A and B are shown apart, each in its own frame.
Chain A
Amino acid sequence: MNLLAQQTETGRTLTFALFLLMVAATLVITVWARKHTRDATDFHSGGRGFKPWQNGFAIASDYMSAASFLGIAGIIALSGYDGFLYSIGFLVAWLVALLLVAELLRNSGRFTMADVLSFRMRQRPVRTAAAISTMSVSIFYLLAQMVGAGALIALLLGIKEGETFLGMDADVASNVGIVFVGLLMILYVALGGMKGTTWVQIVQAIVLLGGAALLALLVLAQYGFNISDLLGDAASSSAAGASFLEPGQRYGVEVAGDATQTMWNKLDLISLGLALVLGTAGLPHILIRFYTVPDSKSARKSVNWGIGLIGSFYLLTLVLGFGAAAMVGAEAITAQNPAGNTAAPQLAQEAGEAFGGSTVGAVLLAIIASAAFAAILSTVAGLVIASSSSLAHDLYNSVIRRGAATDREEVVVAKIAAIGVGIVAIVLAIFAQTLNVAFLVALAFAVAASANLPTLLLSLFWKRFNTAGAVWGIYGGLISAVGLVIFSPVFSSTERSLLGEGVDIAWFPMSNPGLVSIPLGLICAVVGTLMSSESRPDRFATLQVRALTGAGSERAVGH
């Protein structure tokens, strides 16, 4: 049975109305923020005046993308336990950010990741490398989100082959969806800067968490709040039976009679696990959030808020995923979307109907659809502001103008960069629509873990580290992560590859490069350092005192 296809005209109108309501509210915030954005500190870091809980909600909003809401719920619904494994990596990763990065970064940097990396190095080579790596991570992540957004909007509005809504068929709706999301993120960032984006993200986090909590509550109520019954029902509804509740349905699959493939599959699982846990603290759009609070103590508190919110959210997706497996069923989900991305919205309709008839079903579907839309918008806005800050502050001001640009100039360039990045992302996403780009999120994490995290930690903790080490480390990690993926099965050789079955250049047997590229990035950074005689112990002393005590760190601006 295809639930979404049966969605009534009323249901679609309701979904559409909720979308528009949220968009209108966020645009009001954006216009307000524009009036309160005066200088570069306002634009890049929101004036550094946010409270820890506010930044915590924005962190959660940045992080809870369509991939982690619809994606993880879908993986759990179709493959059971393995989706949970994914979310655990995403959560534990926050301890790296909390213990090793957040506070020290807040104290020693100003607007971007490169501020810390280049603190005791030659500015131009390090900032160029950091900007390239920031752009790569952000564009990969952005593309995955936007392609997903297009397909999702068509699906959530219930437009199937041969149907139309407001005169659009499914393909047109998908393009319109991408352009719409793209224009919104450009507006949020170019007009509202970090202040507007942060408030928009706070609102969207509340919509997303509220929607997910409401749905999880309804699902649990169906099972008398007995998790064991829910799991049992999910397992018996699935084809896998009891092993649906165990690892191995999707990652590290054991191939009968093929020991070599089984070995690679298991190493691939470990490789994914490493990229997830080490990637988060190297994601540029997460790192710049630590600059929006007054001091390092607030940065710590905001990460704690983030951990609480994100952890609770993943516990909710666990209920939603198994709920979808039990109440909707794999067959109905894959009929709608083979990757399982519509599991949560389908569950909303089913659980709503079971609770109070078709009207409640339609209302709940509209709420969850808006929550998913909020998840996409807040993440893409965060990625665009991270890219535009890096282009304006690192590439334009520090590399091209050698630090001579005025505050005002940097803000103008950042706004132009936001528009440019947004347009590039829209065009690429429209062309990439027919390709299987789901691997891009894992690739973004792998690049962040291989290129950004090792160099960031070495700059903060290793006295000898220098310009050559930072440059080698970033390019080494970036090139090895991207390069290995190009020669992996996600790129060619199978029917699910980006280039399809016809092309076969896949000599690297794993889909996730982290197991090789993370150590390689680290080795490049160390070897590069030792090959160069540059050493500046005085600058290291300055950096460490600043990072640990907060003396000399950037202050909040009081207007």
Chain B
Amino acid sequence: MATTPTRDGPPPVVTDDQLAAMHDDPRFVDLKRRLFRFIVPATIGFLAWYLLYVLLSAYARDFMGTVVFGNINVALLLGLGQFVSTFGIAWAYSRYTSRNYDPQATELHDAVHYGEDAR
């Protein structure tokens, strides 16, 4: 006798066609948009900021050598700034996805595996 799929144990196996069918679902289009809305600007941003840092290291050495206080110069502060921005973007991404992506992704995952009504 066929039983209603439940959340206990591994989810039922899905076929490639079931997966492909979800691709045109408006909720999936929305999910994609949610992901790209973060990763596209963030990637452009951190790559540009890193490239700026490398270019300054190559072509603006006088500026990089400017002493800010004690023996701390602009080059060191900008380098540490790359660390801060890397940690910051990683943190912001985790925060963004846990609020604006993971619940929706889980919903679609379950819709593919368990069908729309098995909640």
Contacts and interface: CB of A to CB of B under 8 A. Distances in A.
B43 A315 contact: no
B20 A84 contact: no
Interface in A505-559: 538-539, 541-542, 544-546, 548-552, 555
B83 A311 contact: yes
Interface stretch (A183-191, A228-236, A356-364, A394-402): A228-236
B23 A246 contact: no
A342 to B, nearest CB: 25
Contact of B31 (A247, A269, A549): A549
Contacts of A246: 61, 64-65, 73, 75
Most B-side CB within 10 Å, residue of A84, A229, A311, A541: A541
B33 to A, nearest CB: 11
A45 B64 CA distance: 45
Given A88-B83, A228-B72, A248-B61, A98 B22 contact: no
Contacts of A273: 50-51, 54
26 contacts: A88-B79, A89-B54, A95-B42, A99-B93, A228-B70, A228-B72, A231-B72, A232-B71, A245-B75, A246-B64, A273-B54, A304-B91, A304-B94, A542-B16, A544-B32, A545-B19, A545-B20, A545-B23, A546-B19, A548-B105, A551-B14, A551-B22, A551-B108, A552-B14, A552-B19, A555-B10
Nearest to A307: B90
Interface residues of B, number: 53
A315 B109 CA distance: 40
A47 to B, nearest CB: 14
A116 to B, nearest CB: 15
Contact of A98 (B16, B54, B58, B90): B90
A227 B38 CA distance: 36
A542 B65 contact: no
B37 to A, nearest CB: 12
Contacts of A231: 70-72, 76
B86 A548 contact: no
A315 B54 CA distance: 18
A247 B83 contact: no
Interface in B48-67: 50-51, 53-55, 57-59, 61, 64-65
A545 B57 CA distance: 42
Contact of A269 (B57, B64, B113): B57
A270 B24 CA distance: 42
A548 B82 contact: no
B104 to A, nearest CB: 9
A57 B28 CA distance: 34
A99 B86 CA distance: 11
A123 to B, nearest CB: 15
A423 interface: no
Contacts of B35: 548
Interface in A371-397: none
A548 B27 CA distance: 12
Nearest to A546: B19
B43 to A, nearest CB: 6
A124 interface: no
B20 A538 contact: yes
Contacts of B94: 300-301, 304
